[in-house]
Structure 1
Amino acid sequence: MKPKQRSAYLEALQYDNSFPIEKEAVELWLADLDNPFRWSVRPLLQLLFAALLHITWFLKRLPLPQFSAHKLLQALICWFCKYFVSYEANMLILRHYSTESNLLNFLALNSGKTPPALLRLYPKTIKDMREDSFVKHDQELFRVFKELGYWDNNLHTLEESQIDWSGWRTVDMDEFNVKKRWSQVMDFESAHALFMCLFCFLLTKEEYRDAINGFNLDQSIAIRLGKILNNPQYAEMAYNKYPLYLVGPWNLAQRFLMHGFFTEYLYAELESRRQDKNRIQG
Structure 2
Amino acid sequence: MSRRSPYLRAVEVDDTLPIDPAAVRLWLDDVERPTRWSLRPLLQLVLGALLHLTWFVKRLPLPQFRAHGLLQRLICWFCRHVVSPEANLLILRHYATESNIINFLIDNGAADGVAPLTLYPRRIEEMLTASFVDHDQELFRAFAEMGPWRPGDTPRPAAALRWDHWRPLDMADYAVPRRRTQVLDFESAHVLFMCLFCLLLTREEYRDAINGFNLDQSIALRVGELIGDPTLGELAYNKYPHYLVGPWNLSRRFLMHGFFTEHLYARLERLRTA
**Shorter-normalised TM-score: what interval?**
over 0.9
Q: Deviations over 1:234-274 (max 9, x none)?
A: 11221000000100000000000000001100000000111
Distance 1:77 1:229, change over 3 A: same
> In the TM superposition, what is the alpha-carbon distance from 1:31 to its structure 2 partner?
0.1
- Mapped pair 1:34 → 2:32: yes
The corresponding residue for 2:114 is: 116
Quote the Cα distance in structure 1 between the aligned partners of 2:113 and 2:158.
Answer: 19
The corresponding residue for 1:92 is: 90
The corresponding residue for 1:226 is: 224
Q: How does 1:64-143 map to 2 (within 5 A)?
A: 64-143=62-141
Identity among equivalent pairs (%): 61
Question: 1:192 is aligned with what amino acid?
Answer: H
More off after superposition, 172-181 vs 147-156: 147-156
Question: 2:139 is aligned with what amino acid?
Answer: L
Contact 1:106 1:168 (C-alpha < 8 Å) held by counterparts: yes
Quote the Cα distance in structure 1 between the aligned partners of 2:113 and 2:191.
Answer: 35
Aligned counterpart in structure 2 of residue 19 of structure 1, from 17, 24, 30: 17
Question: 1:108 is aligned with what amino acid?
Answer: I
Give the secondary-structure state (helix, strand or coil) at the position aligned to 2:60.
coil
The corresponding residue for 2:190 is: 192
Question: 1:232 is aligned with what amino acid?
Answer: P
> In the TM superposition, what is the alpha-carbon distance from 1:33 to its structure 2 partner?
1.2
Question: 1:182 is aligned with what amino acid?
Answer: R
Give the secondary-structure state (helix, strand or coil) at the position aligned to 1:53.
helix
Q: Deviations over 1:125-145 (max 9, x none)?
A: 000001100000000000011
Quote the Cα distance in structure 1 between the aligned partners of 2:166 and 2:135.
Answer: 17
Alpha-carbon RMSD: 1.2
Quote the Cα distance in structure 2 between the aligned partners of 1:273 and 1:37.
Answer: 37
Contact 1:237 1:265 (C-alpha < 8 Å) held by counterparts: no
Count of equivalent residues: 274
Question: 2:93 is aligned with what amino acid?
Answer: R
Give the secondary-structure state (helix, strand or coil) at the position aligned to 2:231.
helix
Question: 1:9 is aligned with what amino acid?
Answer: Y
Contact 1:155 1:227 (C-alpha < 8 Å) held by counterparts: no
Aligned counterpart in structure 1 of residue 251 of structure 2, from 250, 253, 256: 253
Q: Deviations over 1:121-167 (max 9, x none)?
A: 00000000011000000000000110011112764222223211111
Distance 1:123 1:5, change over 3 A: same
Quote the Cα distance in structure 1 between the aligned partners of 2:90 and 2:20.
Answer: 12
The corresponding residue for 1:262 is: 260
Q: Point out where structure 1 has 5 or more consecutive residues left out of the alignment.
A: 277-282
> What TM-score do you get using the length of structure 2 for normalisation?
0.97
The corresponding residue for 2:174 is: 176
Give the secondary-structure state (helix, strand or coil) at the position aligned to 2:64.
coil
Quote the Cα distance in structure 1 between the aligned partners of 2:159 and 2:39.
Answer: 52
Contact 1:111 1:228 (C-alpha < 8 Å) held by counterparts: no
Question: 1:122 is aligned with what amino acid?
Answer: Y
> In the TM superposition, what is the alpha-carbon distance from 1:12 to its structure 2 partner?
1.3
> In the TM superposition, what is the alpha-carbon distance from 1:115 to its structure 2 partner?
4.4
Q: Deviations over 1:57-83 (max 9, x none)?
A: 001011110000000000000000000
Q: How does 1:47-66 map to 2 (within 5 A)?
A: 47-66=45-64
Contact 1:22 1:268 (C-alpha < 8 Å) held by counterparts: yes
Give the secondary-structure state (helix, strand or coil) at the position aligned to 1:243.
coil
Quote the Cα distance in structure 1 between the aligned partners of 2:110 and 2:124.
Answer: 35
Contact 2:2 2:9 (C-alpha < 8 Å) held by counterparts: no
Quote the Cα distance in structure 1 between the aligned partners of 2:2 and 2:86.
Answer: 16
Contact 2:110 2:151 (C-alpha < 8 Å) held by counterparts: no
Q: Deviations over 1:168-205 (max 9, x none)?
A: 00011000010000000110000000111000000000
